[in-house]
Amino acid sequence: MSLEINGKSYETDEEGYLANLSDWSHDLAEAMAREDGCDLTDNHWEVVNFLREYYDEYQIAPAVRVLTKAIGKRLGKDKGNSRYLYELFPYGPAKQACKYAGLPKPTGCV
């Protein structure tokens, strides 16, 4: 499968996750989000950037429970809870945010 954005084609898996991490860009993330009807705000970016850093350090995309806990530790309890994260990413915080971050589907997410 592939994703067509601004006249360029990007290879993805069957669920729309980028096949090549290196294809990722800020613009591509915003375009992927727009396709889902979602405008990325600073709050969204905080999570997307966090995931990219997490992946860079651990070479995996964290499961939702792990993400929630880690966000809480980094950004405070008012953000480290599933209610807040589901409001930002209604399709599932780990799944949806990982997609915009250009990461594979989270480990521990089926």
Partner 1 sequence: MSEEFTSGTVKKFLYVNRRAPHGSNYAQEGLEVALIGAAFEQDVAMAYLDDGVFQLKSGQDTGKIGTKNFSATYRALGDYDVKRVYVERESLERRGLSQEDLMPLVYKDEDDDWEEKPLIHVVSAEEMRRIIDESDVILNF
Q: Is 99 helix (H, G, I), strand (E, B) or coil?
A: helix
User: According to CB under 8 A, which one of 12, 66, 80, 95 is a site residue for partner 1?
Assistant: 66
CB of 103 to partner 1, least distance (A): 13
Buried b (16+ CB within 10 A) or exposed e, 87-104: ebbeebbbbbbbbbbbbb
Which span (12-20, 42-50, 57-65, 74-82) binds partner 1, by CB under 8 A?
57-65
Q: With respect to partner 1, which residue has the nearer C-beta, 31 or 70?
A: 70
If one asks whether residue 77 binds partner 1 (CB under 8 A), the answer comes out as: no
- Euclidean distance between CA atoms 45 and 75, whole angstroms: 12
Residues that bind partner 1 (CB under 8 A): 57-60, 62-66, 69-70, 73, 107-110
